[in-house]
């Protein structure tokens, strides 16, 4: 036991001495392996950078060099604004209506329409018979009234005789004043009955005349509500008559326009079928509509036109000719609702253009009026303006109006 105990320290010492060198080698190996583990990621990164650099160099080498190509410039023609005398007009719309429309009504009550002599669209003369009522009842009443008049005349004659006799007897004193006054009153009353009978007979004659419906003026039958066999009442409409067949155009104008219109000016009306009719201003309304702020201009339409009442047509009131600064219509380009022309900045064949907004006015034929702000004598693009932009370079060609505009190459200058 002691022996073993005596060797234990030695064994432990040997074990300790054996373990110490092994641990030392392990630490040394760890220190040597660390650089090796770091070298591999670094090498991979360097390789990736090299590949990317090689690809960029190869793509840059394979890319073709940029070649400056010639630019295209539009060949255009030039125009100069000019002063001309242009006729002026005021445009408006309005309804076509009868100049005067007569309403023909019944003046009798309880009479049946016996005859109708006209229809809608007929042209009639003043006094022409349009319709007739049945007058059998009125004729019977006239016979009765005539008899009543004769009876009243006989009674008046008898009363007058009695009055004369009473006056003579009164002188002799054989009749009192009261009796004489009674005979005198009866004579006066009898004469009054004659007047009443005559008035009734005159009224009957008037009813007989009113049983015939006559045209009040020359004109055109525009409406008919009378029906054969119908019993009409007093005041009931039977016909409508366009007096003298005259139609008028009632144009609606603003206050600024009305101030430039005068009586007697000509008006050109456009019909729906494209044809035209002429009219002349007859009257200008003194007041404007409170809601629309428009005033009416009444123009008599010349006879023989194809216009009909109720049409709504456009019209132009002719005004005296006025000065106008005009350019070709092809030189005005409308973009985004704005009118633009292109001014030529140079005087030679090659020039730059500058876009300028303008205000346009009237248009006549192939020309359009420029209200502002273009000056007389300033060169602008006439043909080819629709393809231009501000700052473009163009070639100005002396081609006739309407020539085909082409493209021409202009070498690009040094950059």
| HEC letters along 80-140 | CCEEEEEEEEEEEEEEEEECCEEEEECCCCCEEEEEECCCCCCEECCCCEEEEECCHHHHH
Signed CA dihedral, 97, 317, 254, 270: sign only: positive
Tell whether pTM > 0.85: no
73 contacts 392 by C-beta, under 8 angstroms: yes
Confidence of residue 166 (pLDDT cuts 50, 70, 90): confident
Confidence of residue 71 (pLDDT cuts 50, 70, 90): low
| 5 has pLDDT over 90 | no
Mean of the pLDDT values across residues 189-194? 92
pLDDT number for residue 7: 41
- CA dist 368 and 242 (Å) reads 43
Confidence of residue 64 (pLDDT cuts 50, 70, 90): low
Burial of residue 81 (CB within 10 Å: 0-12, 13-18, 19+) is: buried
Which ranges constitute the DSSP H helices of 109-245?
A: 136-172, 177-210
DSSP state of 68: -
Mean of the pLDDT values across residues 8-13? 40
Closest C-alpha among 94, 95, 101 to residue 245: 101
Tens of pLDDT along 236-254?
999 999 999 999 999 999 9
- CA dist 378 and 341 (Å) reads 11
Mean of the pLDDT values across residues 192-202? 93
pLDDT number for residue 87: 83
pLDDT number for residue 6: 42
Mean of the pLDDT values across residues 136-148? 93
Return the structure tokens found at 353: 């253009």
Q: Is 325 helix (H, G, I), strand (E, B) or coil?
A: strand
pLDDT number for residue 60: 57
- CA dist 209 and 200 (Å) reads 14
Helix (H) / strand (E) element for 239: namely: strand 237-243
Looking at domain 75-80+332-410, which of 2.40.50.420, 3.40.50.2000, 2.40.420.20, 3.30.360.10 is its CATH number?
2.40.420.20
Q: Is 258 helix (H, G, I), strand (E, B) or coil?
A: helix
Q: Look over the chain and give the mean of its residue pLDDT values, rounded to a whole number.
A: 83
Where along the chain do the CATH 2.40.420.20 domains lie? 75-80+332-410
Lowest mean pLDDT of 98-102, 275-279, 393-397, 410-414, name the range: 410-414
DSSP bridge partners of 204: none
Closest C-alpha among 405, 335, 397 to residue 77: 397
Closest C-alpha among 342, 348, 337, 346 to residue 327: 342
Q: Residues 202, 203, 207, 209: what is their CA dihedral angle, to the nearest 10 degrees?
A: 30
pLDDT number for residue 10: 40
Fold classified for 90-98+246-322? Elongation Factor Tu (Ef-tu); domain 3 (2.40.30)
Where along the chain do the CATH 2.40.50.100 domains lie? 103-240
- pLDDT top residue among 33 and 5: 33
pLDDT number for residue 267: 96
230 contacts 238 by C-beta, under 8 angstroms: no
| 348 has pLDDT over 80 | no
Distances from the Cα of 251 to the Cα of 96, 281, 290, 331, angstroms: 9, 10, 16, 34
| 25 has pLDDT over 80 | no
Distances from the Cα of 199 to the Cα of 14, 142, 210, angstroms: 175, 12, 16
Mean of the pLDDT values across residues 200-205? 94
pLDDT number for residue 22: 45
| 15 has pLDDT over 50 | no
- pLDDT top residue among 295 and 33: 295
What's the first-to-final CA gap in the chain, in angstroms?
109
Going along 271-349, which residue ranges are E strands?
Answer: 276-284, 295-301, 312-328, 333-335, 338-344
| 17 has pLDDT over 80 | no
Closest C-alpha among 79, 94, 93, 91 to residue 361: 91
253 contacts 92 by C-beta, under 8 angstroms: yes
| 69 has pLDDT over 50 | no
Lowest mean pLDDT of 101-110, 307-316, 359-368, 397-406, name the range: 397-406
Mode of pairing for the β-strands spanning 101-105 and 71-79: unpaired
Fold classified for 103-240? OB fold (Dihydrolipoamide Acetyltransferase, E2P) (2.40.50)
Mean of the pLDDT values across residues 17-30? 44
State the residue for tokens 């006879």: 303
- CA dist 228 and 42 (Å) reads 119
Mean of the pLDDT values across residues 249-273? 94
Closest C-alpha among 268, 275, 274, 273 to residue 302: 268
């Amino acid at each position: 036991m002691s022996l073993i105990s005596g060797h234990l320290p030695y064994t432990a010492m040997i074990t300790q001495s054996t373990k110490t060198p092994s641990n030392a080698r392990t630490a040394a190996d760890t220190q040597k392996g660390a650089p090796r583990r770091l070298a591999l990621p670094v090498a991979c990164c360097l390789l990736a950078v090299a590949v990317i650099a090689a690809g960029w160099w190869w793509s840059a080498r394979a890319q073709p060099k940029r070649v400056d190509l010639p630019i295209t410039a539009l060949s255009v023609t030039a125009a100069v604004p000019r002063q001309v005398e242009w006729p002026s007009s005021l445009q408006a719309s309005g309804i076509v209506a009868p100049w005067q429309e007569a309403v023909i009504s019944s003046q009798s009550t309880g009479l049946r329409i016996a005859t109708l002599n006209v229809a809608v669209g007929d042209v009639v003369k003043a006094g022409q018979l349009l319709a007739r009522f049945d007058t059998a009842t009125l004729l019977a009443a006239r016979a009765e009234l005539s008899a009543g008049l004769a009876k009243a005349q006989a009674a008046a004659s008898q009363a007058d005789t009695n009055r004369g006799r009473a006056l003579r007897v009164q002188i002799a004193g054989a009749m009192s004043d009261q009796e004489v006054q009674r005979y005198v009153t009866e004579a006066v009353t009898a004469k009054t009955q004659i007047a009443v009978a005559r008035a009734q007979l005159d009224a009957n004659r008037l009813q007989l005349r009113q049983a015939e419906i006559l045209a009040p003026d020359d004109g055109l039958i525009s409406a008919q509500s009378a029906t054969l066999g119908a019993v009409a009442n007093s005041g009931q409409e039977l016909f409508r008559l366009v007096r003298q067949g005259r139609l008028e155009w009632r144009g609606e104008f603003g206050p600024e326009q009305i101030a430039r219109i005068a009586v007697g000016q000509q008006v050109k009306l456009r019909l729906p079928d494209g044809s035209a009719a002429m009219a002349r201003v007859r009257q200008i309304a003194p007041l404007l509509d409170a809601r629309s702020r428009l005033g009416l201009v009444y123009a008599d339409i010349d006879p023989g036109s194809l216009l009909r009442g109720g049409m709504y047509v456009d019209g132009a009131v002719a005004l005296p000719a006025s000065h106008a600064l005009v350019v070709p219509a092809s030189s005005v380009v409308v973009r985004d609702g704005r009118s633009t022309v292109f001014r030529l900045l140079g005087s030679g064949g090659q020039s730059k253009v500058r876009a300028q907004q303008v205000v346009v006015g009237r248009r006549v034929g192939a020309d359009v009026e420029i209200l502002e702000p273009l000056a007389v004598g300033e060169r602008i693009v006439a043909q080819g303006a629709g393809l231009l932009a501000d700052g473009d370079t163009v070639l100005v060609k002396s081609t006739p109006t309407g020539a085909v505009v082409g493209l021409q190459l202009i070498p690009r200058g040094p950059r």
